[in-house]
Amino acid sequence: MSVSGSVVERPSSNLADVCDRLERGEIVCLEAAGLMVDESDRAVLMSVPDTALRHKNVSYAPRTGALGGMAGASSIAVRDALRRYSERVIEMCAALLAPYAGTWRIELASFRPMEERGRNLPVRERNDLLHLDAYPNRPSNGARILRFFTNINPERERLWVTSDPMHLLVDNQRFRALAQGAIAEADSPWVGRLSAVGRSLGLALPDRSPFDRAMLRLHDAMKRDRAFQAGCPKFHHRFAPGTSWLVFTDAVPHAVLEGRYALEQSFFVSRESLRLPDLAPAAIVERLAGKSMVPRMARL
């Protein structure tokens, strides 16, 4: 694989070493993971018509079997293909990342069928702008967001750009200002109170910790800030057809510049299972805030 920068690494036979590399902000690349998807399933996924899509991504919930983001006659076949992919990824990651597997929470799998280059999306939804991941409807409560990606396109690479991981980027003056602004907004007592009132009135609002609110605001602020996008360090990556890769996307700013047909499985990794907890976004946000941002009872 041709890669600029030094953040892509192949896995080690030492499981703790793999976890350490991920927690330091490296991308662990699995070039021999082509068997994650059968040819028949890839054919199903690549034949999904644009008219069947209801969202920019198709989602699959391993815990319930629910499919979201599409409709139509092919939805059952797509759900089955995503289920098989999700099961294989979970099995592989449970072996490769055994220190996490006992306490992690298995999150959604997704299929990304659209060409990334040139998509006309609102700024906060654009994938081609560097950002840190935070899920609006699935608060992590301080757990880390680990994602496993696979490029199922048989002919084209998937192009990414990343920046320094959060524990290094926090020394960047512009990023630090964005993070501190997001924390100040998220830590307002009125924000939490308004959400609680909304839930008491029956509104389906997620119960976000101050940390989750800060990360959501930071996600949006990074995408909106042209000075940060232009001036931060950048590393370019080209993921070949059939390649899979793992990365903590809550701490590695990333953007997708080009590519079509990718799969992904997410996990929430608990703070208690981390080998380098001081490098986790929750720890960094709490140091900047000078206090706890995740109630202990809410942690994964």
Average pLDDT, the chain: 89
CATH topology of domain 8-298: Jelly Rolls (2.60.120)
Give 18-65 as a 3 state SS string: HHHHHHCCCEEEECCCHHHCCHHHHHHHHCCCHHHECCCCEEECCCCC
Mean of the pLDDT values across residues 21-41? Answer: 88
Q: Report yes or no on whether pTM surpasses 0.75.
A: yes
Distance CA 59, CA 62 (A): 10
Task: Identify the residue with better confidence: 197 or 188.
Answer: 188
Band of residue 207 on the pLDDT scale cut at 50, 70, 90: confident
Amino acid at 31: E
- Cβ atoms of 70 and 58 within 8 Å: the answer is yes
pLDDT, residue 299, reads 60
CA atoms within 13 A on the CB side of 67: 19
Instruction: Average the pLDDT over 178-204 and give the result.
Output: 72
Predicted confidence band of residue 6 (pLDDT cuts 50, 70, 90): very low
Which residue reads 């662990």 in tokens?
28
Residue 46: which of 265, 266, 263 has the closest Cα?
263
Q: What is the DSSP letter of 170?
A: T
Q: Judge contact between 232 and 172, C-beta under 8 A.
A: yes
**Model pLDDT, residue 198:** 55
What's the rounded mean pLDDT across residues 168-179? 97
